[in-house]
Amino acid sequence: MQRNAYVTDLRSLQSECSINYLRLLRLLGDMEAGESREVELISDGRWLGVLRLELLERAPYTSMVRVTQSGVLDSLIEAPRMRVHLYHDVRMAEVTDFQRQRHFDGRYRYPNARMHQPDEKLQLNRFLGEWLEHGLAHGHSLDHPLDSPVIR
């Protein structure tokens, strides 16, 4: 049986990065560099944790955000953590660091030493999108009264 090499789905990656840019803008609001926002995540009445967005840098063409989550499993596993670059000129947000690993290639041979999936970069950006979408749909800002939903 012949195996075909994975071909990067550039259209899906760009689409995910564009949507994540809009999601992050909604969650960040008018934050300045050095500020952070915490969003309490609740689903079906259950507390799932806190999504924390920290604006590390803001410049005319790029911004850098650290996204982390703390929650009920903190004592068992390392909390998800990523750094995201926002490119304002093209209106895209890209995961550039996940769990202290940097610079992900568009595709990987499989298997590989780090056991990255062939489409690891796309999967990380999709994970960010699901994370942010959950925060927008079910989150409550801890900067405001508990019953106020996140900016929609």
Q: Where are the domains of the chain?
A: 32-139
DSSP secondary-structure letter at 46? E
- Which pLDDT score is estimated for 71? 78
- Which pLDDT score is estimated for 146? 40
Render each residue's pLDDT in the chain as its tens digit; 152 residues.
556 655 667 798 899 999 999 999 999 999 999 999 999 888 888 888 899 999 999 999 999 999 998 876 666 667 788 999 999 999 999 999 876 566 666 555 666 565 556 567 888 899 899 989 989 988 877 765 444 444 44
- Which pLDDT score is estimated for 7? 61
0.85 surpassed by pTM: no
The dihedral built from the CA positions of residue 137, 142, 146 and 149, taken in this order, carries a sign that is negative
Identify residue 40 by its one-letter amino acid code. Answer: E
- Which pLDDT score is estimated for 45? 84
| 3-state class percentages of the chain: helix first, strand second, coil last, to nearest 5 | 25, 35, 40
Please give the Cα distance from 104 to 118 (Å, whole number): 11
Sheet holding 101-102, edge to edge: 101-102, 92-98, 81-87, 62-70, 46-58, 36-43, 139-141
Kindly report the backbone phi and psi dihedral angles of residue 59, in degrees, each rounded to the nearest multiple of 5, phi listed first. Answer: -135, 170
Please give the Cα distance from 61 to 76 (Å, whole number): 39
- Which pLDDT score is estimated for 151? 45
Please give the Cα distance from 70 to 68 (Å, whole number): 7
